[in-house]
């Protein structure tokens, strides 16, 4: 009896273990592997056509999309479902779609020679798509597709573009974060059929992904879409070629960055041979800064106690350096006479700043410029970003140093670098690194990674920064930048008109126009850099654009 009980217990345990294993296996197949196996099963009974690339979105700071902001409709044909593969089959469709005779002929040929679905027409309107689906022609449907880059997309140079052939990012954020944005499979529109290639009732046409392991991420930027839009609207009627950068001085966040001319990423081929270089991001390209560089000269001279605020200089309208005469930008108006350094900044005196630079020396000027970030790429890490050009002190003879003092000669800087300079002055002499990517998120919005600001570095004393802000305020109150003054809020900055060495058709020198500054005067929120390529005058051209942009974004 005891022996029988032991055998019974063993038998029960055996069936319990077996049942447990079967239940575990069933759970694994149904729950864990269920979606994958279902898709595997479907994959041998579907006719599919890719309609959308699998790619994460690029979002602004408020999670508003900068990509996939528009949609279009396409007409998809499933040859296996079309009942009569002749031109007559397409007559009803053509009454809505208006295909050409060549398109009709090609469609009939495709119907009779291929069993695979194909796109008959793309970029049709929603009303046309609705009418096509109302016709209920077997094997022909109109489907919606997201457009990666809508018409008039914002921040085109920041977002960048992809190679549609392989879904690879080429420029901008698309290129920098391609591995994170890139999904493993596109989305398909599919006809789910039985063994006889007939639509399965109740399933019909579906949109699906044939894999469940897509791992694309969204990239969240520091860009503010509303500010970006205002900036670009103003640029569209004021700047043919140039750039605008807006940065928060205390954090380094880029809230707007735009370059002109812009481009439509859906039609890249039309821009490749244009002399205006629409694909060039001018916000990260290097140009001679002109008189904006006088801020660096003043910073170095004050920091090294080469000058004091109450020192008085004499502007004779020119200065001779080793038998070479350097004239003031307004030489024809005669000498300005006795000026303090603040007045010299306000009136952008070339002779006085050359005198200060020569007294200071090349070593100390270059050292300050390097601390401020000149000659080095920023941490934005954009593909194609220039490091600018800053000569070594040993390269500078007196004449070269005189040119450098007024932002000419060997000196080149990007709009982003100049924004960093102004932000350092506003931030009491502490330099913060500009950045434009704040975090990565999953497709459902969960935070994957946050990007922290890099440690700040003091590059000049608080006292020097305060004195520079006093000079910049004078520029907008009674100097060359009065057109940049923002009523009700105040602003400060510096003009620049950088010679290119070229002349126009009437023999006049062609200059790049700059205005760099900040607003409001009390508790500044924004550093704004305006660059107008071949704009001629910083005070007359760039400064009014600064004012218009500042007034627009401060209203809200």
Q: Is the pTM of this model over 0.85?
A: no
542 Cβ contact list (under 8 Å, min separation 6): 495, 496, 513, 514, 515, 530, 531, 532, 535
CA distance 115 to 100: 23
Weakest mean pLDDT among 193-207, 449-463, 473-487: 193-207
Query: What pLDDT is attached to residue 44?
Result: 47
Q: Residue 224: left (phi > 0), alpha (psi -120 to 50), or beta? A: beta
CA distance 272 to 257: 22
Q: Which of the four pLDDT bands, split at 50, 70 and 90, describes residue 7? A: confident
CA distance 330 to 349: 9
Instruction: Kindly tell me if the per-residue pLDDT of 447 is higher than 90.
Output: no
Query: What pLDDT is attached to residue 10?
Result: 74
Query: What pLDDT is attached to residue 431?
Result: 94
CA distance 164 to 154: 19
Phi, psi of 377 (to 5 degrees): -65, 150
Highest-scoring range by mean pLDDT, 116-120, 267-271, 383-387, 465-469 = 465-469
Mean pLDDT, rounded, for 166-183: 85
Query: In terms of C-beta density within 10 A (0-12 exposed, 13-18 middle, 19 or more buried), how is residue 190 classed?
Result: buried
User: What 8-state DSSP symbol labels residue 541?
Assistant: I
* H helix or E strand, kind and range, residue 434: none
Q: Which of the four pLDDT bands, split at 50, 70 and 90, describes residue 293? A: very high
Q: Which of the four pLDDT bands, split at 50, 70 and 90, describes residue 75? A: confident
Closest CA to 294 of 504, 520, 433, 493: 493
CA distance 133 to 149: 26
How much of the chain exceeds pLDDT 70, in percent?
Answer: 83
Using DSSP's 3-state secondary structure scheme, residue 429 falls into coil
104 Cβ contact list (under 8 Å, min separation 6): 87, 90, 94
Query: What pLDDT is attached to residue 452?
Result: 75
Query: In terms of C-beta density within 10 A (0-12 exposed, 13-18 middle, 19 or more buried), how is residue 30 classed?
Result: exposed
Mean pLDDT, rounded, for 431-454: 87
What separation in angstroms does the CA of 22 have from each of 14, 17, 36, 70? 12, 9, 20, 49
Instruction: Kindly tell me if the per-residue pLDDT of 41 is higher than 60.
Output: no
Mean pLDDT, rounded, for 399-421: 94
Query: What pLDDT is attached to residue 448?
Result: 85
Q: Which of the four pLDDT bands, split at 50, 70 and 90, describes residue 468? A: very high
For Cα atoms 124, 130, 134, give the angle at the middle one, nearest 5 degrees.
130
CATH of 225-264+281-554, one of 3.65.10.10, 3.40.710.10, 3.10.580.10, 3.40.50.2300: 3.40.710.10
Residue ranges of domains in the chain:
2-32, 225-264+281-554
Closest CA to 210 of 187, 229, 181: 187
CA distance 45 to 42: 5
Q: Which of the four pLDDT bands, split at 50, 70 and 90, describes residue 516? A: very high
Highest-scoring range by mean pLDDT, 43-52, 189-198, 269-278, 289-298 = 289-298
- When comparing pLDDT for 141 and 465, which is higher? 465
328 Cβ contact list (under 8 Å, min separation 6): 315, 317, 318, 336, 349, 350, 351
- When comparing pLDDT for 356 and 190, which is higher? 356
- When comparing pLDDT for 183 and 290, which is higher? 290
Phi, psi of 24 (to 5 degrees): -60, -45
Q: Which of the four pLDDT bands, split at 50, 70 and 90, describes residue 231? A: very high
| Count of beta carbons in the 10 Å neighbourhood of residue 31 | 9
Mean pLDDT, rounded, for 529-554: 94
- When comparing pLDDT for 41 and 331, which is higher? 331
Rounded (10°) angle between helices 543-554 and 225-236: 150
Instruction: Kindly tell me if the per-residue pLDDT of 26 is higher than 80.
Output: no
Handedness of CA 174, 248, 407, 240 (dihedral sign): positive
Instruction: Kindly tell me if the per-residue pLDDT of 1 is higher than 60.
Output: no
Closest CA to 247 of 11, 483, 419: 419
Instruction: Kindly tell me if the per-residue pLDDT of 504 is higher than 80.
Output: no
């Amino acid at each position: 009896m005891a022996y029988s009980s032991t055998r019974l217990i063993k038998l029960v345990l055996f069936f319990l273990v077996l049942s447990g294993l079967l239940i575990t296996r069933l759970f694994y197949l149904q729950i864990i592997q269920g979606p994958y196996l279902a898709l595997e099963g479907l994959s041998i009974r579907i006719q599919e056509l890719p309609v959308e690339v699998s790619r994460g979105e690029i979002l602004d700071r408020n999670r508003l999309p900068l990509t996939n902001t528009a949609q279009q409709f396409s007409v998809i044909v499933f040859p296996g479902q079309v009942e009569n593969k002749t031109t007559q089959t397409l007559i009803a469709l053509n009454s809505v779609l208006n295909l050409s005779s060549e398109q009709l002929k090609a469609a009939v040929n495709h119907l009779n020679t291929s069993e695979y679905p194909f796109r008959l027409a793309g970029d049709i309107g929603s009303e046309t798509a609705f009418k096509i689906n109302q016709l209920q022609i077997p094997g022909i449907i109109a489907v919606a597709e997201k457009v990666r880059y809508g018409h008039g997309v914002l921040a085109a140079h920041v977002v960048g573009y992809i190679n549609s052939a392989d879904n690879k990012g080429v420029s901008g954020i698309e290129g920098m974060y391609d591995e994170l944005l890139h999904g493993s499979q596109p989305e398909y529109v599919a006809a789910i059929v039985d063994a006889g290639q007939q639509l399965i009732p109740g399933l019909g046409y579906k949109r699906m992904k044939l894999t469940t392991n897509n791992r694309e991420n969204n990239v969240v930027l520091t860009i503010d879409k509303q500010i970006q839009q205002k900036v670009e609207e103003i640029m569209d009627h004021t700047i043919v070629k140039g750039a605008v950068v807006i940065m928060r001085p205390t954090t380094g966040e880029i809230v707007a960055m735009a370059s002109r001319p812009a481009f439509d990423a859906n039609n890249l081929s039309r821009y490749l041979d244009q002399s205006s270089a629409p694909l060039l991001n001018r916000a990260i390209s290097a140009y001679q800064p002109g008189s904006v560089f006088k801020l660096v000269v003043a910073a170095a001279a004050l920091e090294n106690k080469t000058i004091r605020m109450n020192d008085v200089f004499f502007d004779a309208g020119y200065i001779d350096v080793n038998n070479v005469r350097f004239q003031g930008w307004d030489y024809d108006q005669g000498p300005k006479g006795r000026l303090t350094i603040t007045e010299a900044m306000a009136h952008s005196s070339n002779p006085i700043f050359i005198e200060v630079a020569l007294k200071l020396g090349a070593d100390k000027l270059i050292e300050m410029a390097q601390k401020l970030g000149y000659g080095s790429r920023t941490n934005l890490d954009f593909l194609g970003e220039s490091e600018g050009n800053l000569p070594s002190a040993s390269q500078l003879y007196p004449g070269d140093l005189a040119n450098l003092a007024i932002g000419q000669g060997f000196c080149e800087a990007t709009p982003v670098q100049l924004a960093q300079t102004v932000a350092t002055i506003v931030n009491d002499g502490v330099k913060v690194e500009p950045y434009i990517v704040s975090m990565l998120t999953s497709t459902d919005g969960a935070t994957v990674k946050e990007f922290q600001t890099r440690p700040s570095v003091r590059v000049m004393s608080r006292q020097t920064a305060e004195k520079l802000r006093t000079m910049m305020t004078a520029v907008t109150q009674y100097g060359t930048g009065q057109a940049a003054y923002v009523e009700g809020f105040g602003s400060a900055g510096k003009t620049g008109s950088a010679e290119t060495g070229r002349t126009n058709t009437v023999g006049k020198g062609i200059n790049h126009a700059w205005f760099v500054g900040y607003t409001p005067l009390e508790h500044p929120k924004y550093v704004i850099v305006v660059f107008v390529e071949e704009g001629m005058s910083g005070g007359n051209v760039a400064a009014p654009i600064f004012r218009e942009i500042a007034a627009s974004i401060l209203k809200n």
